[in-house]
Amino acid sequence: MNARQSYRSRLQIATLLVMATLLTACGINNIPTLDEQAKAAWGQVQNQYQRRADLIPNLVETVKGYAAHEQETLTAVIEARAKATSIQVDASTLDNPEKLKQYQQAQDGLTGALSRLMVVSERYPDLKANQNFLALQSQLEGTENRISVARRDFILAVQKYNTEIRTFPGRLWHSVMYSSLPIRETFEATPGSEKAPEVKF
């Protein structure tokens, strides 16, 4: 190898190293990284909803022992749980706004049914004193808090992802390399959720 070829080879290697450094520093990997973060946050939302669904059968059985004649409320919870768990979702649900909305509506229906069940439980002092019920109620409250946190984290992850593909240089990388990755939908507040529920005894 003569000096000219050696110089040209070193120049090509140096150019490749500079290009690789510039590409990694310019955000080329931001879009797939943020997409994966949104998917992971979505997985956590699903995880918390599943945790809630797993608690419900025990809660219903405990309430049934004390308030068997509240069959309508118990049935509503069971049906809402069945509907919420029947909607199969995965990471691809993020690409389907209609399915995401259906999933959210089913989960909101379950939240409403559980709220009614908790109101019913207030009518039964023996039930309110039952240790099993108290433990389940505490776990359910904790799970509802986890759901709120998971949904907030998902909303933030989607916001970062959507912002990246709508602003420069992410918009450029999206059009050139990641055009198959769509804008992501996020959770919306349920109509009427700004009002506190009425509790009547």
User: Which pLDDT score, from 0 to 100, does residue 76 have?
Assistant: 92
CA 78 to chain centre: 22
Confidence band, pLDDT 50/70/90 cuts, at residue 197: very low
Higher pLDDT, 74 or 68: 74
Contact 63, 78 (CB under 8 A): no
Angle between helices 30-66 and 97-121 (to 10 degrees): 30
Structure tokens at 169: 């240089």
State the chain's mean pLDDT as an integer.
Answer: 85
Examine the pLDDT at 33 and tell me if it is beyond 90. Answer: yes
Structure tokens at 1: 């190898």
Query: What does the alpha-carbon distance between residue 166 and residue 171 come to, in Å, rounded to a whole number?
Result: 5
User: Which pLDDT score, from 0 to 100, does residue 201 have?
Assistant: 28
Confidence band, pLDDT 50/70/90 cuts, at residue 191: low
Contact 39, 91 (CB under 8 A): yes
Can you point out the beta strands (E) in the chain? none
Domain range summary for the chain, segments of one domain joined by +: 32-176
User: Which pLDDT score, from 0 to 100, does residue 190 have?
Assistant: 64
**Core vs surface per residue 167-178: b (16+ CB within 10 A) or e:** eeebeebbeeeb
Examine the pLDDT at 194 and tell me if it is beyond 70. Answer: no
Structure tokens at 64: 């049934």
The model's pTM is: 0.78
Contact 173, 27 (CB under 8 A): yes
Query: How many residues in total does the chain contain?
Result: 201
Fold of 32-176: de novo design (two linked rop proteins) (1.20.1440)
